[in-house]
A and B are shown apart, each in its own frame.
Chain A
Amino acid sequence: LAEGKSFKIVWVSCSTESEFWQYQQIGMENAVADLQAQYGITIDFSVAGPANESETESYLRTFENAVASKPDAIISATQVPDMTTAIARDAMGMGIVVNFTNCGLEPVGSTEYIDCYNQFYTTSSGDIGDTAGKIMLESLAKLGYTKGTIGMHFSNINAALAPRMDNFKAYVEANSDFEVLDTLFHANDMATAQANAENQISTYGENLVGLYGANNISGDGIALAIEGAGIQDKVVSIGVDSDSLEIEALAKGTLDCIIVQDAYGQGYASMKNAVETLLQGKNPEAAKQVLIAPAVVTTDNMNTPEFAALLDPTMLKK
């Protein structure tokens, strides 16, 4: 009975030029292909959004414009929940299915805005911070360090993702004597990320024992700086989310570990859920908020098929 139906679905990305959100998009596109084949429906899928995560008002504008084009469903990820709730509620009111992926309107467990969206798949930012902290301490112990300084790097200041930094710092400081520096920001410019890491290396010298980059560009910058300074055996480096340069760095050992969220999986699930909600007239998922745990990828396990795909979802692209 679904046969022949057609749906218009818009992915309102919060940063079109970020690889993480592109991986989400691959998940969605694959889901579109699978669902079209499975149900015999046609899906008109389009992408919109600002280039950069910091362009919050532009994101809001895109969301509004997407609603105005009256699609059947919108999948999105928001950096500023406060701003997005009203328009999401509007959209739901107009009968548009609104799903959030990775960054939603409220943390898992909260139900204040439960009427503003249909489904939310995510990975907890706090988990990422905790995991990174744990790995950092384990690796430092392996190298025999008990004291020293750790640098943190990130793109832009962002409330929703702040636990990545805060939890990392809290975990490390609660469980060891290492000192964690203030986060340095680079606005997703790799050269700045690299310069920031270089400047830390030159400032703290031997004392610098760990570097944590909480997104892919941060990881890239750290890897490049470490390579330039030739200190890959002396410093523990951890990245979050992957891109091709990070994968290379992991293979080379200039990055020791990447904490990876399943971007592809989240994107796929969001799309699948949206279409099935449309087909069935109600959300098939039991819980409106679903957590997907992050994976820890190291030089050792990076080549297993599962992790390789996690690192580079473009391999999965249909």
Chain B
Amino acid sequence: MNDDILLRVEGVEKSYPGVRALKGITTFIRKGEVRALIGENGAGKSTLIKCIMGVETLSKGKIEINVDGRWCAPRNAIDAKRLGMYANYQHVNIAKDLSIAENYYLGRWVKNRCGVIDWNLMNRQSQQVIDKFQLHVDAKAKIRDLPVALQAMVTISKISVNEKIRLVVFDEPTALLENDKVEILFRFIRELKQQGIAVIYISHRLEEIIDICDTVTVLKDGAYVETRPVCDVDKEYLISKMVGRPMEDIYRISHYPAGAGLMRAEGISVPNQFENMSFALHAGEILGFFGLVGAGRSEVMRAIFGVTRITKGQVCIKGKPVKIRSPKDAMKRGIGFLTEDRRLDGLALEQTMRINVNMNSYDMISKWGIISLARENQRAEEHRKRIRIVTPSTQQLVSRLSGGNQQKVVIAKLLCRQPDILIFDEPTVGVDVGAKEEIFQIIQNLTRQGKGVILISSYLPEVMGLSDRLVVMAEGRVVDTIGKERLERMTEEDVLRIASMTGQSKLSTGVAS
């Protein structure tokens, strides 16, 4: 009976200065089992994973893996790899200066007979993996040049390059992926399961868990709550266990009648990124944007925000044409932008939460260039309470916060500036259900105040559930703009079909206005 137990976690505790991240976790995972790990932001999921993989040392307890009958504990990443344990960490951990092929073989480069690295072989085999995962890129492409979603797929597909695998961990792999990539991932997980490999799967998207996992473990505030077979539970049950209270449909927010035009894009283009984009945003409106990876949604918003230069067309704000040359310009004109890659361009990781929250709005709390530290602190505290950022203090370095809490910091930063036009690019990446609800409430409040919200999300239920209108993009163009009534009649499949229907799409739709 015990032979098929692959991993045992017994009484595991882990403390960081000022934080007890794990408070006595005990659980067993069997071969071929797909185990979900859920909990609120900061519950300790990622920490548990790092302990299992041996990259963080335990404060107490033990974790062992069954290696053909022997119980072993990895002491570091090298050990873990030797024991056949692989992890896909929450923060895309990938060498950005190197090629995809090389990242696949990181640390275990293939050598030819002469003992030198066999680039031909590596590139060839990598290309096969890339093709299997349908990524449509060259194995020699540098990671730095890829969109984040694709980078995430590279780290996922990387696991399949290994030979002896016993345990695979996915820490929020789908946060940045849209449906077809999620399907590819699920197929991969089933494949692993069939080979008797155990999988630990962390996600804040509960329907995914019900879809792919066998059992689910709930953590709360670093403590173990329970483990149950997935067939015994439903979404509502899990939410109540995680959050400690039942929750209604989180996408149900009040909508307000669209007011005056806030911003209008008129045929804007950036070469090689997108072409002839037109859309309008009104006060009190949530304008959703959907598209597949690389559809160019983020690129459009970056251009509007002054990160890249628009070469054709123009942007009007409140009816007046404006030239936005830099993000600073954009902010002055009342635009706020929450970027999709928080680690790259959203957060100063090695600075305190307090600085990060205030980072883009020091001009609002300073006079003659002198900052009011009291107000700085007060604002940080305010947001910490308002969107429940789990941190021992506002002086904590952001790099030490859990993923979801980092995301909340970026949102707090955006709100601090009180912009009229808010662009949210994947705002709920890695955020737990409870916090998602709060973010949606915030968005509702914003629209009630007559602000305009642009919401980009690769998660269809979210964009479809929240948007007043939905712009669907493909290959750098608008393929359709769907109004509220039409949207309510559509299924996810319908929207997906539009997004991938690049060929015919131009016939069926005009331009949003």
Q: Do chains A and B touch in the complex (CB under 8 A)?
A: no
